[in-house]
Each structure stands twice: as structure tokens, then as C-alpha cells.
Amino acid sequence: VDEYPVLCEDGTITVTWNESVDSLSGLDGYSYLWTDNPASIPDAFKNIGTGVGQLTSPPLPDGNNLYFHIRAADIAGNWTTTVHLGPFYIDTEPPIMTALLEVEGRYYATAPSFETFEFRDNVALDEVWYAVDSYRGTWTRLVDNHPGTTWASHGWTLPGFEALSEGSHTIFFKALDHTGNVTGTNGEWCYQFFKDTIPPTPPSNLNPQSHIVGKWSRNNVIEMKWTPATDNTGAIAGYSFTWDRE
């Protein structure tokens, strides 16, 4: 019995074999079985006829202990010993990315940094990539041929922030495992933010409403009024002020 793939992405396995020969009553067919036990024996019930030398399994569960078992019967009802093949390794699950804690749409004067930055795979993580503003263009690799199932870089900060234009940007992420399963190539992992390194205009036309500058007053509460500051993004977070003496 020979196999085509050993590490499978689609959950199916195709095996081939040379047909058995019976010189007396003749070959009647085969009984086969897929299990996670290397010593399983198929039932004495034919489920493949003669003239067949290839079989594709149904979708099998993920795991590293899947085996194929087959034995032949002649027309008289005699069964051969069982031939076992395996283990096969099935991995149909792509990597996953831990959800970012930072809310999208934030404004940044310095490069975005992510408190939780982690990728995992159920079998073996291989590569992690990121791209800025397009998932169809050039990707930058963060890790390659990773030896384990989890890669984390908590506090990861976006490189190249200084070269980005002011305004909206999106970071895309993707990850590949050792089997070839990948997630993120279609932009499903992303984080949108705004770059804003230009300070707002200062408040103007600062005027007291309850007092006259340079004149004494019995009122110890001073009301002030000003023309609001403006910002290129249209978003003013607030003001800082203080009262003091000369």
C-alpha cells in the first residue's frame, strides 16, 4: 500500500495498492477501515470490489494518529492478514490571531502599539506577516519557520509610522502554518487608525466675561470665553488651563 500525501490540508487521504492475487477461487474484494488505532482490523465484510487499486478517504478529523487498514478476501471466504498504513497527519485548521484590545479608529501622534499581539495554531505555526494600507501589495514578515504553536510580541509597535501620511491607515495581518493553512490574505485581520501629528491651532480671542483686566473686583470667580481651537482632523480632545500669579 502506498500513500500520496502524508500531511493533508483538506482532510482527505488517497491511498493506492497493488491488487491481491488468489490462484484458486479467485479474489472477491477488500475490507478497509480508517481509525486512530495502528492495529485495527477491518470487519470480515467486503466494502470494495475487485479491480480497484485506489481509494480516497472521506474528510477525516484533525490529528496525528490516523491509520488506514485493508485486507482482502477470496470467493471462498478466506481473508488475508491486515495491512496497516500510517500515521497520517491531518491539519485543516488555519492559525488564529488573538483579538487586539485597542479600539479601532483611534488617533495616534506616535506609532500604534498593541498590548496583546499573539498568533496561534493547533499544530505548528510557521509565518506571521503584516502590511499597511493594502493586503494585495507587499507584506513584511514578522516571523518565519516558527518552531512552536504560539508566537507573541506583546507591545508590538508599527514600524515606519513616521513615513505615513496624515490621516486614515489600516494595518493588515496574516499567518501561515506548517501545513499551508493561512488566514488573513483577504484582509480579514486588520486594524484601522488615524495618524495625527499636527497640533491644533491655539484658542484665540481670549476674553474675560465677568471682569476687566487690570481692575479690582469683589467677585472672586472669573468667567472666560475664547474662540475654540481647530484641528486638521476636525477632532479636538479638549483643553488644559491653569490660574496663577505673576
Mind listing the pLDDT tens digit for each residue in 97-114? 999 999 999 999 999 999
Contacts of 31 (CB under 8 A, 6+ apart): 42, 43, 44, 45, 46, 47, 48, 70, 71, 73, 79
Residue 43 buriedness (CB in 10 A; 0-12 / 13-18 / 19+): exposed
Three-state secondary structure call for residue 42: coil
Whole-structure pTM value: 0.74
The pLDDT, as a whole number, for residue 214 is 87
pLDDT tens sequence across 192-202: 999 999 888 89
pLDDT at 21 over 80: yes
CB 96 within 8 A of CB 11: no
The pLDDT, as a whole number, for residue 104 is 97
3 confidence band (pLDDT: 50, 70, 90): very low
pLDDT at 230 over 90: no
Nearest to 50 by CA among 35, 33, 28: 28
